[in-house]
Structure formats: structure tokens, C-alpha cells
Amino acid sequence: MEFTEAYKHTGPCCFSPNARYIASAVDYRLVIRDTLSFKVVQLFSCLDKISYIEWALDSEYILCGLHKRPMIQAWSLTHPEWTCKIDEGPAGIAYARWSPDSRHILTTSELQLRLTVWSLVNTACVHVQWPKHASKGASFTKDGKFAVICTRRDCKDYINLLSCHNWEIMGVFAVDTLDMTDIQWSPDDSAIVIWDSPLEYKVLIYSPDGRCLFKYQAYESGLGVKSGSWSPCGQFLAVGSYDQMLRVLNHLTWKTFAEFMHLSTVRAPCSAAVFKEVDEPLQLDMSELCLDDDFLGCSDAPEGHFKVRYEVMEVPITLPFQKPPADKPNPKQGIGLLSWSNDSQYICTRNDSMPTALWIWDIRHLELAAILVQKDPIRAAGWDPICTRLVLCTGSSHLYMWTPSGAYCVNNPLPRFSITDLKWNSDGSCLLLKDKDSFCCAAVPLLPESSDYSSDE
């Protein structure tokens, strides 16, 4: 892998959807770089420090959220002289997002008083009263024609169906939830999935006209759903729960066809490969060291004179486990990280009670494919959008990769660069790696076509 130099940032950084640009916030400046040359192609100055940024789907526009004002500023890459400023006045702005047509901005006011749709084509705006959440509770169909917005009034949750053509409300219906957490359209736009608050295990499937197609409740009298995600193919719905189990539902019958338990001790007959991160001392050839160099102070010298690698462990093996305290809210337990591979064959999970372990499940064979055991808690993990390859980071200077053929570690040569977050480019050619106040990119070599290995190789 080839790494670029480090570039400064003070907030969010992200690729454009068309993979051509990288946007980064540096205080009040929005810096747009070319993905290939990393030269600055546009520089925009906002009125205050940038809190978050989001690209429009056509990669022509980009918005910046300024929490201190609070307001939104939007910019155009093709027409740099064009600018847009959205200010809700005393109501404030808690969050903003683009519509799929890249010509409307949806803002949620403070205290969720209203959601407003602002048109960049004309000065028209549409209001939806009492949105349930600021950054969640809204979802668009894949074709961009319809949107659902969660609202709450009179202590009851509702779903509002909107047409993205004229933003008229097509229908409103109540849902059987205690305190709705989030909502998603199915990938084929035929159904809407809702899950309730962590205090109530309930997954509801609704049709766009308000009919409840299915109600799933794995158990009662316990903390419920913590995470959920549709597979890219649209055939499976994965649900991660506080009981440390991953359940996968079939979209045809809405029945559970797979349940995966995250146990702290892995025993036979488990056939999964267990990769453990270990330190390996460097074998230094003293005759090749230059006497004029202070090796200990050299930025190229590996910290502690060791490198890391994966060691394949034998079962049984006990994974590091942290029992959450019973007297504190938001317990660190359950499936907090859940992500599908691009081909929908694999799904990776992290049980928050075992933050250093990443589990990879093979949905085709309904079995555990691999476990990656890290030295430090896993910060982020992301699947290659093109091929079956998983990359994760733990806040160290290393990247960790897994494919069906094995796992390996990659050292970042930049000095004092701790990888705390990562994002894939949409074409799978590049990774954006974030440190606390800088970012870099890594060119990722394509896997050969013959690397479509089976899980038992």
C-alpha cells in the first residue's frame, strides 16, 4: 500500500460520492482536494467553525453545518461564485441532510420542533412538524422518489410518507412502538423497517400504505435492538441485540433463519480461523545502522523496536470480556457494530462487551468464518465496496485487513499517526485514514479475480 503525506483537519473529512474529491474542514475553511493529485481545487470560507459536512449525491454541491451559529452553508464545485446560507433563526438547526436529487436540503430544528425542506431551485420550503429525531428517523427510497419521516405527537409515534417530487405528504399513519429508535426503507423499496427503543425488543415491518406486514420480537423483559442493517442484495435484515446475539431475517417470510451468539469462549467444533494481533521484535542488523543517525529518535524507526502481525490461534480460546457495571446507563454490551460485505455473503460484528474482537460471519454457509482479536478496542471497520475485503483500525499506527484467504497487518509509515477512523472511496481504490488532527490516504491494490476464496481455504 502507498500512503500520502498527512494533511491537517479540525473536523470531518470525506470522499465525494463520485470518488473524485476529498473534502476536509480546517476551522472555518472547507478544503476540496483532488483524489489523484491531492492538490487543492477549491477553498471556501464559512462564517464559523465547521461542525459537519455532507456531499450531495451528484458531487456538485456540499453543505457545511455550523453548530455555533447555528446555520448551514452550501457551496457548488462547478460554480464557485454560487453560495447558499440557511438560518432558522431562534429555532436553530440541529442537523441537515441532502435529498437524493441533490437540489433540496432537509434541516431539523433544535428540540425537534420541525423539519424543513429547502429548495435550491427556488425559494420554496416545506415544513413537517415534530420530527422524532435530529439525525435519524428519516429514510429515502433507492430511486429517490419517496421519503419517510418519523414524527411524534401526543406521546405517539407516526410515519409521514412524502413525495420527493413536490414534497407533499402522501400519508400519515401511527406505528405500534413505545419510543421509535430509527427507520429504514428496504433496498427494493417495498417495505419499511422500524425498531423500538432499547427498552422494548420490537422490530416492525410496514408497507408504504401503513399495513403492518410483520412484527418480530425475539424475547421480552430485556434490553432490545441495538443495531440493524439491510444486506446490499435486499434479501436479509440483520438485527443486533443487547443479548449479544445477531439475528438475520429473510425478507420473504420475515422469519429468523440464522442466529449467531458471541461467546467469550470459542470451542471446538468451531472451524473459524482465529487471528490474534501479537508483537514481533525486530531483528536489527547493527552493521547496517549509520553511526551518524540517532536511531532512537529517527521517525522511521518502529516504536518500541517491534512490528505487529497476526498469529493463528487454536481453539478453545477465551476472548477479553468486560462486564458492564449494573449501576450505569448505556451499558457497553450487545452488538454495537454491524456491517455487510458488498456481495452480502459476509457480515462483521462487534460485541461491545468484547471491544477488541471482530467477528466475521459467513451467511452463505451459516457459520463463523473468522475472529480478529486485537490488542486495542476496535474503533472502525469498513468493507471494500468492490471486493470481499475488510479493513479495521484500533487507534494504533496500523491497519488490519481480512479477506477470505487470511488476515494481515499494514504499518502506516507516517510518524505519530494514530488511525482512529477510516472511510473507503466509492470505487475501492483508496482509503481515507483519520488521526486526531490530520488525515492521509492510502492507495489500496485491487485483489486479483482469483481471490474469490471459499471460507474453508
For each of the chain's 457 residues, which pLDDT tens digit applies? 899 999 999 999 999 999 999 999 999 999 999 999 999 999 999 999 999 999 999 999 999 999 888 899 999 999 999 999 999 888 899 999 999 999 999 999 999 999 999 999 887 889 999 999 999 999 999 999 999 999 999 999 999 999 999 999 999 999 999 999 999 999 999 999 999 999 999 999 999 999 999 999 999 988 999 999 999 998 999 999 999 999 999 988 888 999 999 999 998 888 899 999 998 876 655 444 444 433 333 334 444 456 899 999 998 999 999 888 777 777 789 999 999 999 999 999 999 999 999 999 999 999 999 999 999 999 999 999 999 999 999 999 999 999 999 999 999 999 999 999 999 999 999 999 999 999 999 999 887 654 443 333 3
Residue 83: what are its φ and ψ, rounded to 5°? -150, 160
- Cα(80)–Cα(62) distance, rounded to whole angstroms? 11
Residue corresponding to grid cell 444486506 = 231
Contact 86, 69 (CB under 8 A): no
- Cα(134)–Cα(420) distance, rounded to whole angstroms? 25
Among residues 138, 90, 91, 135, which one has the least CA distance to residue 111?
91
Report how far Cα 175 is from the mean position of its chain's Cα atoms: 27
Note the pLDDT of residue 454: 36
Among residues 141, 97, 101, 140, which one has the least CA distance to residue 115?
97
Report how far Cα 156 is from the mean position of its chain's Cα atoms: 29
CATH numbers and ranges of domains, the chain: 1-87 (2.40.10.480), 90-284+298-451 (2.130.10.10)
Note the pLDDT of residue 291: 40
Name every residue whose Cβ is closer than 8 Å to that of residue 221 and which is 6 or more positions away in sequence: none
Other C-beta atoms within 10 Å of 430: how many? 20
Assign 3-state DSSP to the chain and report helix, strand, coil percentages, each to 5. 5, 45, 50
- Cα(157)–Cα(206) distance, rounded to whole angstroms? 14
- Cα(416)–Cα(421) distance, rounded to whole angstroms? 15
Residue 290: what are its φ and ψ, rounded to 5°? -80, 130
- Cα(112)–Cα(313) distance, rounded to whole angstroms? 50
The set of cell numbers assigned to 85 is 446560507
Contact 346, 366 (CB under 8 A): no
Q: Which amino acid is at 306?
A: F
The set of cell numbers assigned to 58 is 451528484
Kindly give the pairing relationship between strand 273-281 and strand 367-373. Answer: parallel
Write 263-267 long-range contacts (CB < 8 A, 24+).
264/318, 264/319, 264/321, 264/353, 264/354, 265/316, 265/317, 265/318, 265/319, 266/315, 266/316, 266/317, 266/318, 266/319, 266/371, 267/315, 267/316
The set of cell numbers assigned to 365 is 454457509
The set of cell numbers assigned to 379 is 474503533
Q: Which helix (H) or strand (E) is 214 found in, with range? A: strand 212-216
Sheet of 357-362: strands edge to edge? 306-313, 273-281, 367-373, 357-362, 346-351, 335-340
Name every residue whose Cβ is closer than 8 Å to that of residue 187 and which is 6 or more positions away in sequence: 142, 230, 231, 232, 233, 234
Other C-beta atoms within 10 Å of 220: how many? 9
